[in-house]
A = this chain, B = another copy of it.
Amino acid sequence: MADGAATMSRMSPRHSFAEARRTRERIVQRSVAVASVEGLEGLTIGRLATDLGMSKSGLLGHFGTKEVLQLAALERASDIFSAAVWAPAAAARPGLTRLRAVCEEWITYLEREREAFPGGCLFTTAVVEFDGREDGPVRDAVARLFRTWRRRLIVDLRIAVRAGELPAGTDPRQVAFELIGLYMGLNQAIQLLHDRQAPDRTRRALTRLLG
């Protein structure tokens, strides 16, 4: 049995269904990396195909359309982001505690990301690419992501206010707005200006915002 399976996967069965899943996986993975540098619009079938050593048609066959590929890359990037930022803090106590945990993860994510994805935050790039365009599936997906994250911030902010962890009268949506701006500034400072003090500046701003 075990021997048979080993024999079967000996010579890179390029046309097996199981292998197709892994091929698609490789494509999405590479797409996220490329898109973090060139943007979602900067993704090109030809370049991806060359990078992965396959044909354009073979690659596009997995998605049918470039737009579907963009959506797949965006979703995968969202998963990576969630796993890095939201998941580690999920177990923390809701409210200010969890909020602080998320914020710290977010900072280190943007720091670490610089090594993994040299182009910086893919979402920041995506926002700018699509914010001026007419509506479309990708633009909608990007906006939906940001609204989701903002909502999560607001939830914990509301809990914190109700629990008295933040001054009464604090407007959760106001603080969430400022938080998001803070992180966009952080990303820009890291990526464009190579400012090493930016993470600590963000932390200082956070203590001012969240105490």
Contacts and interface: CB of A to CB of B under 8 A. Distances in A.
The A interface, classified by DSSP as helix, strand, loop or mixed, is: helix
For the complex formed by this chain, how many copies does it contain in all?
Answer: 2
A198 B182 contact: no
A201 B38 CA distance: 32
Interface residues of A, number: 42
A185 to B, nearest CB: 2
Nearest to A119: B132
Given A129-B39, A201-B177, A205-B177, A146 B193 contact: yes
B185 A131 contact: no
Nearest to A179: B185
6 contacts: A41-B42, A128-B129, A131-B192, A142-B192, A173-B201, A178-B201
